[in-house]
Amino acid sequence: MEPGRGAGALPGMEEAAGAAQGKGRVNFPFPYTPYSIQEDFMAKLYDVLEAGKVGIFESPTGTGKSLSLICGALSWLRDFEEKKKQEEARLLADEHNGQDKQQQPTSCHAEASNCQGSAGELDWITEFMQKKEEQAMVDRLKEEQIRRKKREDRLEKIRHNVQLKYASKRKRLEDDETQRLLQLSAEILSTELGSDVLEQLDHEEEELILAEYESDEEKKVGLRLDEDDDDDLEEEHVTKIYYCSRTHSQLAQFVHEVQKSPFSEEIRLVSLGSRQNLCVNEEVRHLGAVQLINDRCMEMQKNKHGKKSEGEESEGKKRRVSRAVCPFYSYEQMQFLRDEVLVKVKDIEQLVALGKETKACPYYGSRYAIPAAQLVVLPYQMLLHESTRCASGIKLKDQVVIIDEAHNLIDTITCIYSAEVRGSQLCCAHSQLLQYMERYRKRLKAKNLMYIKQILYLLERFVSILGGNVNQNPNVQSISQAGTELKSINDFLFQSQIDNINLFKVQRYCEKSLISRKLFGFVERYGATSVVKTNKEKQKMAGLQNFLLTLHQGPDKEAAIQCPPVEAEDGQPKMASPLMQIEGFLSALTNANQDGRVILNRQGTVAQSSLKFLLLNPAVHFAKVLKECRAAIIAGGTMQPVSDFREQLLSCAIGADRVVEFSCGHVIPPDNILPIILCSGPSNQQLEFTYQKRDLPQMMDEMGRILGNLCNVVPGGVVCFFPSYEYEKQVYTHWERTGLLTRLATKKKIFQEPKRANQVEQVLAAYAKCIKRCGQVGGQVTGALLFSVVGGKMSEGINFSDDLGRCVIMVGMPYPNIKSPELQEKMAYLDKTMPRTAGQPPSKMLIENLCMKAVNQSIGRAIRHQKDFASILLVDHRYARPSVFNKLPQWIKERTEIKPAFGLAFAALRKFHQEKKSCYGSEAS
């Protein structure tokens, strides 16, 4: 370690300070010489973080956005920590030789007394309060220094002392052996003593009974550690950066970029994830469904702490055995895992491997690392969902938030806080819960029975408002008046006759009692095999108990209530308790009345009908993030049009002066991309793929002629995007009938985007293999043609670099379906709450923006690195309209050519690809 640099110091600390003073610019450590646009990006990012503003940053894919974010943000953090240490040192120095400070206020006090007369008499109070505050601050700084020194020493020992690791491993092996011997002893005793005749239920069924519900206060029993561990829980959070992205693969990629950066050796990074991704307990993992994993995990923590707080010595042996605890939830081992995580940068996979090796829970161990971490990497849901954020121990106060891949941020927040339940789920949950209550009525406490009856009543009213009856099978109950109806939250509660029930309390009860987990275990035990029997063995089966028998039967059984299948990891469907889904809907109903709507969708039968909560105002939830954090960065490869972010997310939380926009160009030479707006086809027909015209045979034929010509001059791969799966299928069928596909196949092998996600990789592999083979062997077939769908599996996250995407074609404009009730309600809400822009109503702007966001995401698939090249064809004259044209990304817009006739466009495309072939040789073939 360099002299003077602690374990928490970041690289370039001294150099940065000198550079900032000498040149007025910040020194940004970088793994290679950065592009000028990367330097601009980092400089602007640094300024936004320093000023505590909100930045909307656009950096096209292939321009090194991740590294720019890492090096720019961590350089700011480095300088911020250095300034903080200097300020601390100054204050502590003043405290040690404080005589000068004491004299100065005295002279000031005398001056003030002479100048202000009687007003000066009160100055001694001000002086006293200032001294008191300064002393308190000095005391806090001393404590913080001690804590920081202890943490740095601890991490430094782990970093350099291998013996500690071996000692820890040896202790784990000893603990395992002890545990094995204890279990063996217990089995021998159990065999000798025989079964406990006093217990009427076996230990597995005991677990299904709800524990006594004490109160509605927030205790967080299941997550709380022993009292001795409070100091570690209350560890002060250092200044940090929260980086979040959409998927775990994107987060893993970001962590790998950090590992390659100059900051990799010293930065304290922790990756957070869901239990589904981090759990190492196979018994829990095999449950598959994330809701089941969450509930089972929390139940095991409650069992662990319940044992210490409740006197269970007098209870039967089986009751004690049934209280399963997680062997990986060892505080000592999780502390070790926490320190290992902070010492060296690890991604999720490495974290899970470490958890298995150390026999410590990665989920909780990583959470204990949050306070000391400088960079926290986490998925969208964990940061944007308030209750998840709080439960995870994430504190945003005065911290930096970076949201990457944020082009769909508005939709993400809307989806996180929206919820939908089907009629079949409501009836299924009612049937299951009623059976559960009847089975264990004598064992349930009064408060449990009260809440169960409230939930049953809610389910009954929800089915009733859909036009059904919970006592009849939903699959055979027809709806007399089908259609869609929208209601405000208050109207829905009144008309459902549930306005007198405190939904906050019901929601809290569901969360704390883990009732959905108990219900799942109950159905898993009885649903598929036998009738639930009451204490009277011979009692006849009630009518509703028939429902329980049919829960797991196939769809051919007319009377079956189909419960929602949840895919387990092994691919086998696992039935989740529908109550889990309903809990989300109940939670959504606690939103403010003006921020959402309830959609009643009545279709055919009760089972097919649904209730959906639609969040109209995502800003109300995002505002909580913005008000807490010091600064926020919303970044993406394609952020245009930006107006949506400003108006729908930021306007109600912060002033316009606090928002900064930055958009950088691409690293490719200007002549490596040819975007063309095509207004008419080869037969001079105007290209307008509106809902009214796109189904016309002549319009589909014209598009076919365009493709036929392009395939003759474009080498490698051509990706053609259609507005929807339905339209792609319609055009494909038409071309098949007219013989066009056969003609196209002489030049390009044709592939179609599959609807099923698990088939995407297979199709892409075959597409890439075909292009590579054609490039190597030559011949009449020059590559492949891929039909894709805007908003589908291949319009986001898939890279069509190099020969995989030499031409990207956008057929028409992918406007959303304005007949959708959800979209209509959103449009009405925006028209009511937002001002007009350039004379246009907000609803029209919304439709146009949704369309162009989808277009920009799709056409950005082609250019992926500095030497890449591609042509882009926007096939519709409406793209030339100024309001639409201006919403293209800047780096594409400034190079776009508008071609009124096909001949001009074709000549430009042929010239472009011929020049590239001569420049790049076989690469472009």
Per-residue pLDDT reduced to its tens digit, 286-328 = 887 787 888 888 878 776 655 443 444 444 444 443 457 888 8
Amino acid at the residue 122: L
Does the structure show a pLDDT above 50 at 573?
no
Backbone torsions φ then ψ of 792, nearest 5 degrees: -85, -160
pLDDT of residue 683: 92
CA-CA distance, 387 to 389, in Å (whole number)?
5
Measured over the CA atoms of residue 192, residue 197, residue 198 and residue 204, the dihedral's sign is positive
Instruction: Give the three-class secondary structure for 208.
Output: coil
CA-CA distance, 879 to 862, in Å (whole number)?
19
Residue 50 banded pLDDT, cuts 50, 70, 90: very high
Amino acid at the residue 327: P
* % of the chain beyond a pLDDT of 70: 73
pLDDT of residue 306: 55
Residue 59 banded pLDDT, cuts 50, 70, 90: confident
Tell the residue number behind the tokens 């959906």, with chain if given.
612
**Lookup: tokens for 650:** 């930021």
pLDDT of residue 304: 65
* C-alpha closest to that of 401 among 163, 53, 128, 122: 53
Q: What is the mean pLDDT of residues 858-863?
A: 80
**Lookup: tokens for 523:** 């159905």
Residue pair 392/367 in contact by the 8 Å Cβ criterion: yes
Residue 458 banded pLDDT, cuts 50, 70, 90: very high
Q: Alpha-carbon dihedral of residues 689, 693, 695, 700, nearest 10 degrees?
A: -60
pLDDT of residue 21: 31
pLDDT of residue 107: 46
Query: Could you read off the pLDDT of 371-390 as tens digits, one per residue?
Result: 989 999 999 888 998 888 88
CA-CA distance, 160 to 24, in Å (whole number)?
38
pLDDT of residue 808: 92
Query: Could you read off the pLDDT of 218-240 as tens digits, one per residue?
Result: 344 344 434 333 344 456 788 99
Query: Could you read off the pLDDT of 103-132 as tens digits, one per residue?
Result: 454 444 444 444 444 445 567 666 666 666
Higher pLDDT, 402 or 9: 402
Q: What does the DSSP assignment read for 346-387? A: --HHHHHHHHHHHT--HHHHHHHTTTT-SEEEEEHHHHHSHH
Winning range, highest mean pLDDT, from 10-24, 77-91, 146-160, 238-252: 238-252
Query: Could you read off the pLDDT of 748-765 as tens digits, one per residue?
Result: 899 988 888 778 888 888
pLDDT of residue 781: 84
Residue 546 banded pLDDT, cuts 50, 70, 90: very low
Residue 652 banded pLDDT, cuts 50, 70, 90: confident
**Lookup: tokens for 139:** 């005391």
Sort 38 into a burial class: Cβ within 10 Å, 0-12 / 13-18 / 19+.
Answer: buried
Higher pLDDT, 87 or 177: 87
Higher pLDDT, 304 or 842: 842
pTM: 0.78
Residue pair 629/636 in contact by the 8 Å Cβ criterion: no
Residue 87 banded pLDDT, cuts 50, 70, 90: confident
Least confidently predicted of 186-200, 349-363, 403-417, 500-514: 186-200
Q: What is the mean pLDDT of residues 502-518?
A: 86
Query: Could you read off the pLDDT of 659-677 as tens digits, one per residue?
Result: 899 988 888 888 888 999 9
Does the structure show a pLDDT above 90 at 924?
no
Instruction: Give the three-class secondary structure for 863.
Output: coil
Residue 22 banded pLDDT, cuts 50, 70, 90: very low
CA-CA distance, 601 to 706, in Å (whole number)?
42
pLDDT of residue 898: 93
Sort 894 into a burial class: Cβ within 10 Å, 0-12 / 13-18 / 19+.
Answer: exposed
Does the structure show a pLDDT above 90 at 265?
no
Does the structure show a pLDDT above 80 at 10?
no
pLDDT of residue 358: 86
Residue 193 banded pLDDT, cuts 50, 70, 90: very low
Query: Could you read off the pLDDT of 684-694 as tens digits, one per residue?
Result: 999 999 988 99
CA-CA distance, 817 to 815, in Å (whole number)?
7
pLDDT of residue 92: 66
pLDDT of residue 203: 60
Our separate counts of H helices and E strands in the chain read 37, 20
Higher pLDDT, 304 or 516: 516
Residue 188 banded pLDDT, cuts 50, 70, 90: low
CA Rg, the chain, in Å? Answer: 32
pLDDT of residue 903: 92
Q: What is the rounded average pLDDT for all residues in the chain?
A: 78
* C-alpha closest to that of 275 among 361, 369, 389: 361
Least confidently predicted of 187-196, 628-637, 793-802: 187-196
Least confidently predicted of 556-570, 613-627, 881-895: 556-570
* C-alpha closest to that of 603 among 822, 424, 471, 419: 424
